[in-house]
Amino acid sequence: MSISRDDLVNWVKNSVEILHENSEYLTELDAAIGDGDHGINMDRGFKAVLAKLPDFEDKDIGTILKTVGMTLLSTVGGAGGPLYGTFYMRAGMAVAGKMELSLEDWTAALDEAVKGVVMRGKAELGDKTMVDALKPAVDALYKCIDEKKPLEESLQISADAAKKGMVDTIPLVARKGRASYLGERSAGHQDPGATSSYLLLKTAADTWHNG
């Protein structure tokens, strides 16, 4: 089993729906420890991606991902724009020219995407950011490769790892971003960036279930 270009496009389309459905939830999470605009910003950015999608959905996977990233960079406000823009652009660079992805390809793309986010946001594991969901997801994929697990199962394991990482942000004290201004008061709240990251990875696993 592999991830085709059409599968990738379907993931992008489904991500638009999921982020729209969870817009208020993400905004509520962000209102507790941030600017209160994460859900609104992500919804706007992905709607812009959907509007542009017909112009580039026939390209290779790398180009599609890079175009998603550039669109988010120009349309998502706050910290989310540069971070998610970098995420998709770096993922696209890792799979440039490819028309389908193996588990190894997807893992390499996600790994490169997370490295880009870390470089851009200077956040590490435990800082109460999207990295807390993304890094465990990548680590889980590498373990799945070592254990020779099939793609579909690996995607679900990766999404589950992201979910655990997301939930694990609740007791943390934020060390990066707007939430860090709250100091100890940021503890007890789930990080909105980690939540949107989990939603995207869960959507990938759901979209690519049964090929």
Q: Please, what is the average pLDDT of the chain?
A: 93
Residue 211 has pLDDT above 60, yes or no: no
CA distances 182 to 34, 74, 126, Å, are 9, 28, 16
Distance CA 20, CA 5 (A): 23
* pLDDT confidence band for 153 (50 / 70 / 90): very high
List of residues 6+ apart from 164 with CB closer than 8 A? 136
The least confident of 7-16, 21-30, 74-83 is 74-83
Confidence check: pLDDT of 30 > 80: yes
How many angstroms separate the CA atoms of 64 and 88, rounded?
9
pLDDT tens-digit series, residues 93-128:
999 999 999 999 999 999 999 999 999 988 898 889
Among positive and negative, which fits the CA dihedral 124, 8, 159, 173?
positive
160-186 burial, b if ≥16 CB within 10 A, otherwise e?
bbbbebbbbbeebbbbbbbbbeeeeeb
pLDDT bin (cut points 50, 70, 90) of residue 180 is: low
The pLDDT assigned to 186 comes to 74
Structure tokens at 25: 């939830």
Res 52 pLDDT > 90 = yes
Residue 188 sits at φ, ψ, to 5 deg, of 95, 0
Q: What's the pLDDT at 148? A: 97
- Write the DSSP symbol of residue 22: T
State pTM to two decimals: 0.95
Contact 54, 35 (CB under 8 A): no
Q: Domain spans of the chain?
A: 3-207
Q: In 3D, which of 100, 133, 102, 134 has the Cα closest to residue 9?
A: 100
Instruction: Using the predicted structure, report yes or no on whether residue 70 has a pLDDT greater than 70.
Output: yes
Domain at 3-207, CATH class: mainly alpha
